[in-house]
Amino acid sequence: MDAATFLSTGLEAGSSAEGPPKLDYRDFQRSFILLASYRSGSHMLKLSMGRLANFLTPPEPLNQYAESESGFTLKEYFSTDLLRPKIMTEASASVHHFLQHFYNRMPETRRIVLDIKYPQAYAFGVNADMDYSVVVPTFLEEAHKLGMPFVHLVRKDKIAQAVSLLVAEGTGVYLNQSNGRGLQKAEQKIRLSPRQVFERATRFQNAAENARTVLAALGATTLEVTYEDLLAENWSDQYRRVFQFLDRYADIPEGFVPPTAAQNSSDRVSNIDEIRSYAANKDPSMLGF
């Protein structure tokens, strides 16, 4: 099913909607894919885009564990009695069918941040026709065909990113609010294995490089942004780059504070110097230099 066919097709039987969603090709061009890995600052950027540029910020649509809340997620898609295409044999049609239901949950003005993590992008399989020189996730391919731009968010300091993930997994605190709430469980310092941190950092590095390769193979309209730049002294200029890329004007009020705090957990690790020294000896680029 191509984009034109999809946009002219109503919701299939099994939907709880009273009628087909009114979709416009521009709905997709007004939205964008925020492609990132875990602990990269994607939640911070997503919520900031919502507050500054009035984007809708539903939960990660391809997160199979997330509740739909104000959106529509893969968890609900597979748990409801929908007549759906078979993902194994009709992957492209499955993506379009999912997007039909996803967009049907959105308000009439559909300017949406679709927050997609690297592993989630493979939820609908990959292009098996060898149309590209690399393995391309079907979801990203179909999003590109629909004209959706991509903001690729990466974190330069992969060691800090790995530390952040391991600390979050160890403490159960995954989100640091700007007001400091959510830090109470993480007050006690913990010790991490330098080798384990480096292995996680390597995965993050591999994932980012793979994403760059996939986006280049697709010829996708892409802007790469770094987490560190979003926190730098000229952070407002970085947000304006994103606005300009998305052809969206937005004012940044003086004193604006991102909805979530920096996901920096290094000060909660007792042997952080040992970890960074280990990484410097193995591969200094993992430290973001």
DSSP state letters, 111-179: -BEEEEETGGGGTT-B--S--SSS--BHHHHHHHHTT--EEEEE-S-HHHHHHHHHHHHHHS----BTT
Residue 50: pLDDT band (50, 70, 90) is: very high
Q: Supply the pLDDT for residue 174.
A: 59
Most confident of 72-86, 164-178, 209-223: 209-223
Listed in sequence order, the residues at least 6 apart from 227 whose beta carbon sits closer than 8 Å to its beta carbon are: 40, 41, 153, 154, 155, 156, 161
Listed in sequence order, the residues at least 6 apart from 251 whose beta carbon sits closer than 8 Å to its beta carbon are: 52
The mean pLDDT of the chain is 86
Structure tokens given for 272:
């952080």
Q: Supply the pLDDT for residue 23.
A: 58
Q: Look up the pTM and report it.
A: 0.87
Average of per-residue pLDDT across 36-47 = 95
> Look-up: residue for tokens 């709905």?
27
Q: Supply the pLDDT for residue 187.
A: 64
Q: Supply the pLDDT for residue 224.
A: 98
Residue 13: pLDDT band (50, 70, 90) is: very low
Average of per-residue pLDDT across 81-89 = 80
Average of per-residue pLDDT across 266-274 = 92
The CATH code of the domain that includes 129 is 3.40.50
Is residue 80's pLDDT more than 50?
Answer: yes
In DSSP terms, 269 is beta-bridged to: 190
Q: Supply the pLDDT for residue 289.
A: 83
Cα dist. 248→88, 134, 206 in Å?
37, 32, 32
Total of domains in the chain? 1
The closest alpha carbon to 110, from 26, 191, 175, 184, belongs to: 26
Q: Supply the pLDDT for residue 29.
A: 79
Q: What is the residue range of 239's domain?
A: 3-248+258-287
Asked if residue 168 belongs to a domain, the reply is: yes
Q: Supply the pLDDT for residue 156.
A: 96
Is residue 175's pLDDT more than 80?
Answer: no
Asked if residue 140 belongs to a domain, the reply is: yes
Is residue 189's pLDDT more than 50?
Answer: yes
The mean-pLDDT minimum among 78-92, 114-128, 226-240, 268-282 falls in 78-92
Asked if residue 253 belongs to a domain, the reply is: no
Listed in sequence order, the residues at least 6 apart from 132 whose beta carbon sits closer than 8 Å to its beta carbon are: 217, 218
Residue 22: pLDDT band (50, 70, 90) is: low
Of all residues in the chain, the percent with pLDDT exceeding 90 is: 58
Asked if residue 24 belongs to a domain, the reply is: yes
Q: Supply the pLDDT for residue 12.
A: 46
